[in-house]
Amino acid sequence: MVGRQADVLILSTADRAFLESQVRRHKAPRSLSDRCRMLLLCADGLQSKEVAERLGVHEHTVASGGVALRKPPTTSSHQSNASAKKQ
């Protein structure tokens, strides 16, 4: 099965334990537990298409779930963007 290979996601033991606990929580919102499952499957090295099939969602949903994984802008680029907006 060919699909978009996600960026390598490496979870610490503590991060993995937290995500797994959120999946098991009965009172956790479904959207949260679904995103946690997505992250865990991506960390296991699955392609986004395979993750989507396992969870019964569209591949784009898996890809957009990775938004939270993007690195925040560096301080210098954030400051230069802020100063450009002021002008």
Q: What is the 3-state secondary structure (H, E, C) of the chain?
A: CCCCCCCCCCCCHHHHHHHHHHHHCCCCCHHHHHHHHHHHHHHCCCCHHHHHHHHCCCHHHHHHHHHHHCCCCCHHHHHHHHHHHHC
User: Does the pTM exceed 0.85?
Assistant: no
Q: What does the pLDDT profile of the chain (87 residues) look like in tens digits? A: 555 555 668 889 999 999 999 999 888 888 888 899 999 998 898 888 898 899 998 888 887 765 445 444 455 544 545 555 555
pLDDT at residue number 5: 56
pLDDT at residue number 19: 92
Q: Answer for the pair 40, 23: CB distance below 8 angstroms, yes or no.
A: yes
Q: Answer for the pair 48, 62: CB distance below 8 angstroms, yes or no.
A: yes
6 burial type by CB count under 10 A (0-12 exposed, 13-18 middle, 19+ buried): buried
pLDDT at residue number 14: 93
